[in-house]
Amino acid sequence: MTKRSRWDPVVKLTHWSIAAAVLANAVFTEEGSNAHVWVGYALAAILGLRLLWGLIGPAEARFTAFLPSVRRARAHLREIRAGAPSEHKSHNPLGAVMIYAIWVCLLVIIATGISMVGLPSMAENRGGPVPTASLEYEHREDGEYEDEDHEEGLAGEIHETAADLLYILILLHLAGVLFETRRSGRKVILAMVPGHR
């Protein structure tokens, strides 16, 4: 068996910071608060770095190492059914489909989030972002944005739906990671931890 490749530090650090940012915005920050939006901007920057790394990073981190493909995903399912061991230099073909789905979801969440509040350069001196859709969003005293007649705009609806979809994908992602750990006997999770092979 060939030695399992290690993930480089950029892949590892962007993974755990993206996971932390998603957890923060899904559980801890108040929807639409300044904290939520700043965590969102940070998330956008980290994802940007990871996507850039997909072009210029080491072989295993590149998009070309794990392009999503239905054919390869099916072949991988057949391997699983046959109980055949499989080695992949990068993410396995099912993981690859999942990862692109997560990235698309994150990009939709970021795009709709930014379309609601604008870019960081548009932030007010008081340290908070300004809603660009000021006709739709009223700036409240407590630093949150709320729709004037409590109706969500289209961007808000899409933002929320994409977030719900993301939560489902993350559950599937965790199930996939656990499944692959049991199936392969490899320390799949440790391989993502900084300092481990």
Binding positions for ligand HEM, rule: CB under 6 A: 11, 14-15, 18-19, 22-23, 25-26, 31-32, 36-37, 40-41, 43-44, 50, 91-92, 95, 99, 102, 106, 109-110, 113-114, 116-117, 145, 152, 156, 159-160, 163, 170, 173-174, 177, 188-189, 191-192
- Nearer of residues 32 and 76 to ligand HEM, judged by Cβ: 32
Instruction: Say how many CA atoms lie within 13 Å of 196 toward its Cβ.
Output: 11
Min separation Cβ 9 and ligand HEM, Å: 12
- Nearer of residues 71 and 164 to ligand HEM, judged by Cβ: 164
Neighbours of 36 (CB within 10 A): 19
Rounded Cα distance between 187 and 91, Å, is 14
Min separation Cβ 71 and ligand HEM, Å: 19
- Nearer of residues 74 and 184 to ligand HEM, judged by Cβ: 184
- Does residue 87 sit in helix, strand or coil? coil
Which residues lie below 8 Å from residue 18, measured CB to CB, with a gap of 6+?
Answer: 43, 46, 47, 50, 106
Min separation Cβ 125 and ligand HEM, Å: 19
Q: Are 138 and 147 in contact (CB under 8 A)?
A: yes
In single-letter form, the type of residue at position 180 comes to E
Min separation Cβ 169 and ligand HEM, Å: 8
Give Rg (Cα) of the chain. Answer: 19
Min separation Cβ 36 and ligand HEM, Å: 5
